[in-house]
Amino acid sequence: MSKLAIDGGSPVIESLSGPRLLIGSEERDAVMALFDRVISGGGAFDRYGGQEVDAYEREFAEFCGTAFATATSSGTAAIHAAVAALRLEPGDEIVSAPITDPGAISPVLMQNCIPTFADTDPETFNITAEGIQRVLTDRTRAVVVGHIAGEPADMDPIMDLAKDRDLVVIEDASQAHAAEYRGRRVGSIGHMGAFSTMSGKHHTTGGQGGIVTTSDEEIYWNAKRFADRGKPFGSDAGENLFMGLNYRMTELEACIGRVQLSKLPAIAASRRRFVDRLGEGIAGCRAVRLGKIVGGATPTYWFGRLRVDESALTVDKAQFVQALSAEGVPCAATYVTVMYKQKWIADRQTYGQSGHPWTASYGREVDYTDCCPNAERALATHMLLHWHENLTDDDADRIAEAVVKVEKAYKR
């Protein structure tokens, strides 16, 4: 219980306006029409012989502003297909984000490549060109740049560095559907983009799914080939070209995704309006503010970051968040542990007990100790708010009221 609850105060928020309503009658109608086509025409929901996956890929590429897109079964599969499309050698190194999901790191290791971790801006959860520069070696081949929380990384300096060092940039846009950086949609700025379309993201293909975007035709074909067991798409070969996995998306998933994609601009706009309203409501706070957004970025706010200045409070961040939670605010004290401190990476739990790829003859052992102090500082100084596009102005106002109330109670 928080201090406010102990003092007998009523919570500011008894309940928010309602649950997230991502799926509607439009998706139902589209799926039923697909069922009718399959029932009358035969087949099932595999993409071969269908039209939904092909159409979803075309529409997604157009939405992002790329020449090509290829759909996959998950966001992790999208990252894996993007990394595999580069046809790297075992022991090659890929710069990764320290604040991300394990699904962005596992594909690097599965390709027997070595992840190195670039530090972030201390005021965001995203890596920077400076952080990347510090971990480059003569074995570095690519960079996976996450746009964490739906907030774009500062891409121009990263792309300049990549050009100078001949690196491929993969944007992990799983949390940043429809976000923009200097007028360009994320997923179109790097050499490739990778998206997750699981049900928690801005738009979904039903439960799981992913997609790879690019304007490089060779990369496109390789990603598409890898995601279907190495099939010789885009070539005259009569047999599979290289090892791959079955990461295909189904017609049923793409059917839902197409409807969802048409809703995405409104979803993104609603999230931005909510955050703008919340920002206005807490503008007078001294200890709490919205997280920093880099210049030229237009976020889509998958979750909310609030910067908490403990020096202006009589309690620490954890106690402050506990009090906010007691006021009915959906919040958390932190996001994830930096990837290099997660036990499975620290203990090298990859291929049995081998420690590969780090310990393989082609690899190298990397000391990750304290490699990203800014990332650890960013996690330590920010709290999270959970929101979605169905929340209203009134919800934003009540959350702001709760933040103001708790800060007033604990201000130094």
The pLDDT value recorded for residue 115 is 98
CA atoms within 13 A on the CB side of 266: 7
- The whole-number average pLDDT for the span 186-199 is 98
Task: Check pLDDT > 70 for residue 198.
Answer: yes
- Residue range 225-272, pLDDT digits in tens: 999 999 999 999 999 999 999 999 999 999 999 999 999 999 999 999
Enumerate residues 6+ apart whose C-beta is below 8 A from 211: 56, 57, 60, 69, 70, 71, 72, 78, 194, 195, 197, 249
Distance CA 148, CA 127 (A): 9
The pLDDT value recorded for residue 8 is 65
List the CATH code of the domain at 25-261. 3.40.640.10
- The whole-number average pLDDT for the span 310-318 is 97
Bond before 357 cis per omega within 30 degrees: yes
Instruction: Quote the mean pLDDT of the chain.
Output: 96
At 142, list the tokens: 């690519």
Domain segments of the chain as ranges: 25-261
Tell me the sheet residues that pair with 68: 214
CB 113 within 8 A of CB 134: no
**pLDDT-based confidence at residue 9 (cuts at 50, 70, 90):** confident
Tell me the sheet residues that pair with 142: 94, 168
Distance CA 237, CA 254 (A): 28
- Residue range 343-373, pLDDT digits in tens: 999 999 999 999 999 999 999 999 999 999 9
Task: Check pLDDT > 50 for residue 394.
Answer: yes
Percent of the chain residues topping a pLDDT of 90? 96
The pLDDT value recorded for residue 7 is 55
- The whole-number average pLDDT for the span 100-111 is 98
Distance CA 357, CA 351 (A): 8
At 94, list the tokens: 């890929």
The pLDDT value recorded for residue 412 is 92
The pLDDT value recorded for residue 353 is 97
- Flag whether the pTM goes above 0.85: yes
What secondary structure, in 3-state letters, does the chain show?
A: CCHHHHCCCCCCCCCCCCCCCCCCHHHHHHHHHHHHHHHHHCCCCCCCCCCHHHHHHHHHHHHHCCCEEEEECCHHHHHHHHHHCCCCCCCCEEEECCCCCHHHCHHHHHCCCEEEECCECCCCCCECHHHHHHHCCCCEEEEEEECHHHCCCCHHHHHHHHHHHCCEEEEECCCCCCCEECCEECCCCCCEEEEECCCCCCCCCCCCCEEEEECCHHHHHHHHHHCECCCCCCCCCCCCCCCCCECCCCHHHHHHHHHHHHHHHHHHHHHHHHHHHHHHHCCCCCCEEECCCCCCEECCCCCEEEEECHHHECCCHHHHHHHHHHCCCCEECCCCCCHHHCHHHHCCCCCCCCCCCCCCCCCCCCCCCCCCHHHHHHHHHEEEECCCCCCCHHHHHHHHHHHHHHHHHHEC
- Residue range 141-171, pLDDT digits in tens: 999 999 999 999 999 999 999 999 999 999 9
- Residue range 124-134, pLDDT digits in tens: 999 999 999 99
